[in-house]
A and B are shown apart, each in its own frame.
Chain A
Amino acid sequence: MAVDLSMPILVVDDYKTMIRIIRNLLKQLGFSDVDEASDGSAALEMLKKRKYGLVISDWNMEPMTGYELLKEVRGNDQLARLPFIMVTAESKTENVIAAKKAGVNNYIVNPFNAATLKAKIDTVFGD
């Protein structure tokens, strides 16, 4: 599956700076349609209203974490197959295993660079 550069991407993070960094990196990688949400519950509402091609989410947010969002997405028939990448500073093995069990497509530990983001997106879309 080739990566569709026009697909809408939802970036979920409670830090505006981090959203801006990811948005800029995605722009440099050729993605132009990027929306943002400040936590899992806001993201869930947006996912129900628009068809996104990819979710890039932080883990540690309030009130709903990225981990809870991932489980909500996988438990929803309409969203269950939506590609989901976790981008987070949570780098304990238990986090990665829990995310894997919950159905995450890829996991990027922060700090990261553009090449890592590109490689993980390519992997998720089988490029």
Chain B
Amino acid sequence: MSRKSSKSSIEPANPVSLGEAIERLRGSTDMSAEDALTLAEIAIQNLAASLEGKEATDTVAARTIERLSGLKHEITHLQACEMHRQRIPMAKSRLRDAVSDTEAAATRIMECAEAIIAADTTDARTYQQTVSEQVMAIFEACAFQDIAGQRLGGVADALEGMERRLGRFVDVVGAVKASGPADAEEKRRENRKRRLILNGPASEGEGISQADIDRVLGS
């Protein structure tokens, strides 16, 4: 039994005793979350059966089983594997491509500007031709915006899809609001950002202007 499996190897729809379920899972070295939830469902069904007739027990057991089934359904629909294996790598790849596109375009535009600055001005006709050619090349290089825009649009779509799935999952499981780093590497990066005041570029409307900076510095 592997975590990668999307289906549990024990099925509460085909009731088994708790002992049988445990026996089936005994050889497993890597129990999935779905297996654990299924085992919990069977345990509750067994418990409810042993306490049959007590109304409170039946109600709580039914609600718990319903909740566990819902949780399993949402884990499946979260499609975390697909997000992890396809959508996130695709988004990262497109972001890297967009960075590469903008860098290539900026380099090309600077090469053109440098060529214009370095051009010989003594021969007006040759100079005009050089300027004209370089300006055309600048226009061509600006086409990066269309390609980068499409790549970034794809990333935004992928993020929106993941946001919807995660939002639904959070609602259904009633996830407790938790913050803080997920692992040691993330913790190290967050500490570094805080210690060295690495906020990154400010969004539109955030951050302070050059005039405000000058006032703070008194320059």
Using CB atoms and an 8 Å cutoff, list the residues of chain A in contact with chain B. Answer: 15, 17, 20-21, 24, 28, 59-60, 65, 67-68, 89-98, 100, 104, 106-110, 112, 116, 120, 123
- Do A90 and B107 touch (CB < 8 A)? no
**Looking across the interface, which residue of chain A has its beta carbon closest to that of B106?**
A17
- Specify the chain B residue showing the minimal Cβ separation from A113: B210
CB distance from B195 to the nearest CB of A (A): 10
User: Once the chains bind, are A60 and B200 in contact (CB under 8 Å)?
Assistant: yes
B208 touches A91 (CB 8 A): yes
Contact of A93 among B107, B210, B216 (CB under 8 A): B216
Residue of B nearest to A123 (CB): B219
Asked if A107 and B197 make an inter-chain contact with CB atoms under 8 angstroms apart, the answer reads no
* B219 CB contacts on chain A under 8 angstroms: 106, 120, 123
- CB pair A60–B198 under 8 Å, yes or no, is yes
Q: Determine if B199 and A95 form an interchain contact, defined as CB atoms under 8 angstroms apart.
A: yes
Within 8 A of A (CB), among B190-219: 196-202, 206-210, 212-213, 216-217, 219
Contact-residue bracket for chain B: 20 to 34
- Do B113 and A24 touch across chains, with their CB atoms under 8 A apart? yes
Q: Mark B97-121, 1 if CB is under 8 A from A, else 0.
A: 0000001001100100110010000
Q: Would you call B216 and A100 a contact (CB within 8 A)?
A: yes
Whether the pair B202, A91 counts as a contact (CB closer than 8 A) is yes
* Cβ distance B100 to chain A, nearest Cβ, rounded Å: 11
Q: Which of A90, A108, A120 contacts B199 (CB 8 A)?
A: A90
Given known A-B contacts A24-B113, A24-B114, A123-B219, A89 and B209 have beta carbons under 8 A apart: no
Q: Closest residue to A66 on the B side, CB-wise?
A: B196
Instruction: Determine whether the beta carbon of A93 is less than 8 Å from that of B110.
Output: no
**A96 and B198 in contact (CB under 8 A), knowing A24-B110, A106-B219?**
no
A-B contact pairs, 26 of them (CB 8 A): A15-B103, A17-B103, A17-B106, A24-B110, A24-B113, A60-B198, A67-B196, A67-B197, A89-B202, A90-B197, A90-B198, A90-B201, A91-B207, A91-B213, A92-B197, A93-B208, A93-B216, A94-B197, A95-B197, A98-B197, A107-B213, A109-B208, A109-B210, A109-B213, A120-B219, A123-B219
